[in-house]
Amino acid sequence: MIGERLTTAFFARDTVTVARELLGCVLVHEGVAARIVETEAYTEDDPACHAYGNGLRRLQGKSPTGRSAILYGPPGVAYVYLNYGIHWLFNVVTEPEGQAGAVLIRAVEPVKGEAIINKRRPQARPADRTNGPGKLTLALGINQSHNGRFLEDGGLYIAKSTAKWSGEVVTSARIGISKAQERPWRFFVANNQFVSPGRPS
DNA sequence: AGAATGATCCTCT
DNA sequence: GAGGATCATTCTC
In sequence order, what DSSP letters do the residues of A14-47 get, joined into one string? -HHHHHHHHTT-EEEETTEEEEEEEEEEEETT-T
Q: Which residue has the higher pLDDT, A123 or A201?
A: A123
Task: Supply the pLDDT for residue A60.
Answer: 85
Residues 106-125 of A with CB under 7 A from strand B: 121, 123-124
Q: Which residue has the higher pLDDT, A88 or A62?
A: A88
Cβ of residue A199 lies below 7 Å from strand C = no
- Amino acid identity, position A127: A
Cβ of residue A84 lies below 7 Å from strand C = yes
Chain centre to alpha carbon of residue A54: 21
- Amino acid identity, position A181: Q
Cβ–Cβ < 8 Å for A158, A164: no
What is the rounded distance in angstroms from the CA atom of residue A167 to the CA atom of residue A155? 28
Confidence of residue A162 (pLDDT cuts 50, 70, 90): very high
Confidence of residue A18 (pLDDT cuts 50, 70, 90): very high
Task: Supply the pLDDT for residue A8.
Answer: 97
Name the nearest CA neighbour of A100 among A65, A60, A66, A68. Answer: A68
Q: pTM, whole model, 2 decimals?
A: 0.96
Positions on chain B within 7 A of a protein C-beta? 5-11
Res. A165: pLDDT tops 80: no
Cβ–Cβ < 8 Å for A174, A159: no
Query: What are the backbone dihedrals phi and psi of residue A63, each rounded to the nearest 5 degrees, phi first?
Result: -90, 155
Spanning CA of A61 to C1' of B12, the rounded length in angstroms is 51
Residue nearest to nucleotide B9 (CA to C1'): A134
Measured at the alpha carbon of residue A171, what is the angle toward residues A167 and A177, in degrees to the nearest 5?
A: 130
Confidence of residue A201 (pLDDT cuts 50, 70, 90): low
What is the rounded distance in angstroms from the CA atom of residue A107 to the CA atom of residue A194? 7
Confidence of residue A136 (pLDDT cuts 50, 70, 90): very high
Res. A56: pLDDT tops 90: no
Spanning CA of A66 to C1' of B2, the rounded length in angstroms is 20
What is the rounded distance in angstroms from the CA atom of residue A29 to the CA atom of residue A157? 7
Name the nearest CA neighbour of A18 among A1, A51, A40. Answer: A40
Taking CA atoms, A54 is separated from A19, A63, A98, A102, A157, in Å, by: 22, 8, 12, 14, 27
Cβ of residue A98 lies below 7 Å from strand C = no
Res. A65: pLDDT tops 70: yes
Least-confidence region, from A56-65, A90-99, A129-138: A56-65
Round the CA-based radius of gyration of chain A to a whole number and report it.
Answer: 16
